[in-house]
Structure 1
Amino acid sequence: MSTKGFLIYLVSSFSVALLSALFLTGTYDVKHYASLSPPSPIYGSENDKVWPELKVGWRVALATVIGFLGSAFGTVGGVGGGGIFVPMLTLIVGFDTKSAAALSKCMIMGASSASVSYNLRLPHPTKEVPIIDYNLGLLFQPMLMLGITVGVALSVVFPYWLITVLIIILFLGTSSRSFYKGTQMWREETLLKKEMARQKTTFVNSRGELLIDIEYEQLIPNQEKSSMQIVCFNLKWKMILILMAVWVSFLLLQIIKNSVEVCSQWYWVLFCLQFPIALSVFGYEAVKLYKDHKERMNTGNLEFICEASIEWTALHILFCALCGLLGGTVGGLLGSGGGFILGPLLIEIGVIPQVASATATFVMMFSSSLSVVEFYLLKRFPIPYALYLTTVSVLAGFWGQYFVRKLMGILERASIIVFILSGIIFVSALTMGVVGIDQSIKMIQDHEFMGFLDFCSSQ
């Protein structure tokens, strides 16, 4: 499946799903079901909190194992694992969906923070640049955070079954596309390993004589950097401060917005203020990438910018903006960090897997921590469970990065990261799909309203 074919698949599938929702809206009597509380995969259909007690038992043990593995491999793939955590916390532990989404953010924040901490000690595999691509972080993070706020709003308006269908379409599409990219990388790595093995054992001099097992020593040996030097080199404080400024701005707007009346004049003013903040930072980085790309083309320098093979034209930058907004929207609908879009997108535009994973988890650390602080202020999750699951995710984040890096060193294949990415998204599609379909069937049996809901009256 080509990139163009994948986009056609997403647009056509989303259009059919939305038209189906509009059709169902006209087939139900809205007034008859106006008293029903609107269901949502993020906020649920119940207003009461369901917080099971944290005690030793098979439920907590099973949740620990699933949470550990989901965090370990989710952060390696750069997707977080929210599609696994939310069903686990609702079906196995017994939390209500609101609290499950909040705890899922805590787990994503813990795992992504551990992953970023581990990656900061690693050098870039091919160049003398930081392993985290801060330019891509500045390009995607503002749009991702803006999309999350939009997704939370849409989760109140969209019917439950429609969100389930959209998530299945998106997850299956990105999973299959990532798997295809992984198989391509695997074949390229196989050819490269064969060529390197041939060159290592066989050399031919200028007279055509065969030379075997010759090793050449470098005249000037490379000086290896210490761990502290690598960490200092990987930290770009100017860009980190810009990202933190965006984070603080969004947090303050969310706190103030939650304190005013829903759908009031000030509510919409605060909601709209998010757009200029996100667009200004995105525009700054987009203009920078566009000028750098144009300058490189004029000078004949074909070296890729941001480790990506994409040409940073106006159309391609707009495409990245829409993908970042879509990733955040899905994150807001699902309760994830948006990595289900960002991770595959970075692979798609040509970022090498190690850098794509490090950059995606770096961006998710900001987006998930914003949600955790907001949920904490709203008292949306129990502190003991949050501390326990976050600790499990932190340990899993370190272990997952260590395990996969060792496995990559043994097999000498970076495509493993892409296959992990594809697998996590596919498992998330199954879990979210099963839970969503089951809940939708119950809603149909109870004759609940299946169309779009009013935003203001549904708060």
Structure 2
Amino acid sequence: MATRRFTFFLSFTFSIVILTVYIITTHIYNHQPFLRSSPNPLFLKPDDQIWPELEFNWRIVLATVIGFMGSAFGTVGGVGGGGIFVPMLTLIVGFDTKSAAALSKCMIMGASASSVWYNLRIQHPCRQVPILDYDLALLFQPMLMLGITLGVALSVVFPYWLITVLIILLFSGTSLRSFCKAIEMWKEETLMKKELERPREFVNSRGELLIDTYEPLIPKEEKTPMQIFLFNLRWKMLTALIVVWAAFLALQIIKNSLVVCSTSYWAVTIIQFPVALSVFGYECVKLYKESKKRKNTGNPESVCEAAIDWTAPHLMFCAFCGILGGTVGGLLGSGGGFILGPLLLEIGVMPQVASATATFVMMFSSSLSVVEFYLLQRFPIPHALYLMAVSVMAGFWGQFVIRRLVAFLQRASIIVFILSGVIFASALTMGVIGVDRSIRMIHNHEFMGFLEFCSSQ
């Protein structure tokens, strides 16, 4: 499977890079003790809090335009757009890095919420099922949140320049893979459109050649917007997702109030594992039983949107991808959307459903961060409300325009092209900023190696 090869290639590359860097930096700093006395202020103490005033000027206008476009295209692709928001808020508006990351989560939450509201009011393009795949959401959400927790912890330990290298590797790889996927889909759609446009020939009972130039009329049940909305809602699955979200939020709030590296701190951290694994295990058993039941009855229809067979190896592979995506997302500050969107496409989910489901999951993960940041007072409320309002409008209009364009051109590959473009833009902006900051750290003779977790909090 191409998905497995690509995923294991990324994880193997990351492992080799991290191991090599650890060995080299450990050797250098062990033989040059004076370097160890020059700690990296980026991690050992919080950045100076810079909150500019919310006033009408060219900076806020440019930030509004970039935020609107980033939210519109980011939610359509199902990746959020955090890789665009953080550089925009730091370079243009003037926020410090930590405040920019917190405001970025606010923008992602606003755009995701409006996109989910829009998607709940539209029908599945080809099946009588909800546009949101709740099974996939419940399968990936707990592992993604668990991975984000691990990634955030690793971001404290990893040097800034190494995180920049991982950003460039990950985003470039996923962008290229998504772009190739979009080209394949575009070619398949072109062949399909040519096949549909070609007149069909058949012979009647008298041996006369007839040409059929009309498509068969398939009656489709028309539903009101309220009927579609209620059909797309699955209260049992939605309640389960909310319970997982609330459990992780409570654990994060409790952990933030404890002394770092204390016994209670590690106890609360470890509790997150059984919470995530229990929900994931429940969904695994459900998908496995349903898939086995359909196979025994000879029903070839897939259990959910994914085109893979829900066997034990595939479920374990999904768990690995969820944790890997969350870890990388937490490490790079992207929240996991840059992994989940391409991953859903790789396992066979159609673009419209992949976009809607990834945005749905991202709404939970981003809102978890926003509540936590709010309790820690990490962002100014006026800026947060304004940028969230911009993102809410952008998320709605982005979905509206692109969905209409996909329906008009009959090319769902447009969504995948947008996903690839947003990831590439994020790799470019975050890569350039990361390289520039790393060069300045080298000129200032700052510590460039791995840090201890407990002393770096």
Given the two structures, how large is their TM-score scaled by the length of structure 1?
0.95
- Matching of residues 296-335 of structure 1 within 5 Å: 296-335=294-333
**Paired residue for 2:163?**
163
Instruction: Give RMSD over aligned pairs.
Output: 1.7
Equivalent AA in structure 1 for residue 390 of structure 2:
V
- Matching of residues 159-238 of structure 1 within 5 Å: 159-198=159-198, 201-206=199-204, 207-214=207-214, 221-238=219-236
**Paired residue for 2:260?**
262
> Hey, what's the Cα distance between the residues in 2 that align with 1:140 and 1:6?
18
- Matching of residues 115-130 of structure 1 within 5 Å: 115-130=115-130
C-alpha deviation, 1:33, in angstroms: 3.4
The answer to whether residue 135 in structure 2 is matched with residue 135 in structure 1 is yes
Stretch deviating more after TM superposition (338-347 or 9-18): 9-18
Partner-residue secondary structure (3-state), 1:305 = coil
Partner-residue secondary structure (3-state), 2:304 = helix
User: CA, structure 1 residues 46+405, in 2 after alignment: closer, same or farther (shift >3 Å)?
Assistant: same
> Hey, what's the Cα distance between the residues in 1 that align with 2:432 and 2:359?
27
User: CA, structure 1 residues 305+227, in 2 after alignment: closer, same or farther (shift >3 Å)?
Assistant: same
Instruction: Say whether the 8 Å CA contact 2:38–2:447 is kept in structure 1.
Output: no
The answer to whether residue 14 in structure 2 is matched with residue 14 in structure 1 is yes
C-alpha deviation, 1:212, in angstroms: 4.9
The answer to whether residue 36 in structure 2 is matched with residue 33 in structure 1 is yes
> Hey, what's the Cα distance between the residues in 1 that align with 2:374 and 2:6?
38
> Hey, what's the Cα distance between the residues in 2 that align with 1:235 and 1:216?
31
> Hey, what's the Cα distance between the residues in 1 that align with 2:215 and 2:414?
30
C-alpha deviation, 1:217, in angstroms: 5.2
User: CA, structure 1 residues 49+216, in 2 after alignment: closer, same or farther (shift >3 Å)?
Assistant: closer
C-alpha deviation, 1:34, in angstroms: 4.4
Instruction: Say whether the 8 Å CA contact 1:178–1:419 is kept in structure 2.
Output: yes
Stretch deviating more after TM superposition (30-39 or 384-393): 30-39
> Hey, what's the Cα distance between the residues in 2 that align with 1:4 and 1:140?
16
Instruction: Say whether the 8 Å CA contact 1:103–1:386 is kept in structure 2.
Output: yes
- Matching of residues 373-392 of structure 1 within 5 Å: 373-392=371-390
C-alpha deviation, 1:31, in angstroms: 6.6
Of the three residues 286, 289, 303, the one matched with 2:287 is 289
Instruction: Say whether the 8 Å CA contact 1:327–1:342 is kept in structure 2.
Output: yes
**Paired residue for 2:71?**
71
The answer to whether residue 338 in structure 2 is matched with residue 340 in structure 1 is yes
> Hey, what's the Cα distance between the residues in 2 that align with 1:134 and 1:330?
23
> Hey, what's the Cα distance between the residues in 1 that align with 2:375 and 2:15?
37
C-alpha deviation, 1:252, in angstroms: 0.8
Stretch deviating more after TM superposition (327-336 or 149-158): 327-336
C-alpha deviation, 1:121, in angstroms: 0.5
Instruction: Say whether the 8 Å CA contact 2:202–2:210 is kept in structure 1.
Output: yes
Instruction: Say whether the 8 Å CA contact 1:39–1:159 is kept in structure 2.
Output: no
> Hey, what's the Cα distance between the residues in 1 that align with 2:144 and 2:12?
23
C-alpha deviation, 1:449, in angstroms: 1.6
**Paired residue for 1:145?**
145
C-alpha deviation, 1:360, in angstroms: 0.3
**Paired residue for 2:243?**
245
Instruction: Say whether the 8 Å CA contact 2:326–2:336 is kept in structure 1.
Output: yes
User: CA, structure 1 residues 97+302, in 2 after alignment: closer, same or farther (shift >3 Å)?
Assistant: same
Q: Deviations over 1:166-222 (max 9, x none)?
A: 121111111111111111111111111111111xx444342342235457556xx43
C-alpha deviation, 1:129, in angstroms: 0.4
Q: Deviations over 1:399-449 (max 9, x none)?
A: 100110111122110010011111111111111111111111111122222
> Hey, what's the Cα distance between the residues in 2 that align with 1:285 and 1:34?
49
The answer to whether residue 84 in structure 2 is matched with residue 81 in structure 1 is no
C-alpha deviation, 1:240, in angstroms: 0.5
Partner-residue secondary structure (3-state), 2:211 = strand
Partner-residue secondary structure (3-state), 1:170 = helix
> Hey, what's the Cα distance between the residues in 2 that align with 1:225 and 1:406?
18
**Paired residue for 2:277?**
279
> Hey, what's the Cα distance between the residues in 1 that align with 2:33 and 2:303?
52
Q: Which runs of 5+ in 2 are unaligned?
A: none
What is the total number of aligned residue pairs between the two structures? 452
Stretch deviating more after TM superposition (176-185 or 203-212): 203-212
Partner-residue secondary structure (3-state), 1:211 = strand
Stretch deviating more after TM superposition (414-423 or 330-339): 330-339
Instruction: Say whether the 8 Å CA contact 1:331–1:337 is kept in structure 2.
Output: yes
Partner-residue secondary structure (3-state), 1:452 = coil
> Hey, what's the Cα distance between the residues in 2 that align with 1:19 and 1:104?
31
**Paired residue for 1:24?**
25
Equivalent AA in structure 1 for residue 194 of structure 2:
K
Partner-residue secondary structure (3-state), 1:275 = helix
> Hey, what's the Cα distance between the residues in 1 that align with 2:277 and 2:41?
32
C-alpha deviation, 1:35, in angstroms: 5.5
Given the two structures, how large is their TM-score scaled by the length of structure 2?
0.95
C-alpha deviation, 1:249, in angstroms: 0.7
Partner-residue secondary structure (3-state), 2:417 = helix
User: CA, structure 1 residues 215+399, in 2 after alignment: closer, same or farther (shift >3 Å)?
Assistant: closer
Instruction: Say whether the 8 Å CA contact 1:83–1:334 is kept in structure 2.
Output: no
Of the three residues 447, 450, 454, the one matched with 2:448 is 450
Of the three residues 349, 352, 356, the one matched with 1:358 is 356
> Hey, what's the Cα distance between the residues in 2 that align with 1:214 and 1:452?
67
Stretch deviating more after TM superposition (289-298 or 80-89): 289-298
C-alpha deviation, 1:145, in angstroms: 0.9
Instruction: Say whether the 8 Å CA contact 2:7–2:321 is kept in structure 1.
Output: no
Equivalent AA in structure 1 for residue 36 of structure 2:
Y
Instruction: Say whether the 8 Å CA contact 1:85–1:104 is kept in structure 2.
Output: yes
User: CA, structure 1 residues 425+208, in 2 after alignment: closer, same or farther (shift >3 Å)?
Assistant: farther
**Paired residue for 1:420?**
418
Partner-residue secondary structure (3-state), 1:262 = coil
Q: Deviations over 1:96-142 (max 9, x none)?
A: 11100000000000000010000000101111000000000000000
> Hey, what's the Cα distance between the residues in 2 that align with 1:212 and 1:138?
46
Stretch deviating more after TM superposition (159-168 or 355-364): 159-168
Partner-residue secondary structure (3-state), 1:269 = helix
